Structure 1
């Protein structure tokens, strides 16, 4: 099991949530700002099996591109989102803080 942490520009957040839920992905959504991209963004947490990682990453990319195509606009930034892939066993120490 892997944990995909995806920090995405708020412009794409609603579309990502809608499309990925339709595809059966379960996620946790965290509102976040500052620091990383210094503007409004949303952080999604996905629990995913290793065999499904590539499919999830393609779904994220597709949701962003679909929004741009529908609104007929191109991204003004180099990246639509940034993601980090962690082994769940490596993330476990963070989940036990405060217990």
Structure 2
């Protein structure tokens, strides 16, 4: 058995969860926060048999496409007067970060 840990952007999560559940995958959903943008993410824990890992990753890829977003930088620049001014930056968001780990033991009580 494998545990898939998928970190996806909040806006991608609802449709992804619906499709995974329609395909009979059990999911545990956790709220999480990204480091750079401090924006909301959803972390999904999906336990599957080894043979199903590629199928789940294919579904995740279909619904979690990366895209560009303009945002205000969390770090500030200093202008000559000593005032800190935020600046805009274009960043890549979306997509998914996926970890697949072995499960030594699984019990459903």
The answer to whether the superposition gives a TM-score over 0.5 is yes
For residues 36 and 54 of structure 1, do their structure 2 counterparts lie closer, same or farther at Cα, with a shift above 3 Å needed? farther
Name the structure where helix makes up a greater proportion of residues.
Answer: 1
Larger relative contact order (CA 8 Å, sep ≥ 6) = 1
Larger radius of gyration: 2
Structure 2 counterpart of 1:42: 42
Structure 2 counterpart of 1:27: 27
CA deviations on 1:18-73 (whole Å, 9 max, x unpaired) are 111111111000011143763110000000111111011001112235xxxxxxxx
Pairs aligned (count): 82
Query: Quick check: 1:82 aligned with 2:82?
Result: no
Bigger shift: residues 29-38 or 11-20: 29-38
Name the structure where strand makes up a greater proportion of residues.
Answer: 2
Please, what TM-score do these two structures have when normalized by structure 1? 0.72
For residues 44 and 36 of structure 1, do their structure 2 counterparts lie closer, same or farther at Cα, with a shift above 3 Å needed? farther
Q: Structure 2, unaligned stretches of length 5 or more?
A: 69-91
Measured in 1, the distance between the counterparts of 2:35 and 2:93 equals 17
User: 2:24 aligns to what SS in structure 1?
Assistant: coil
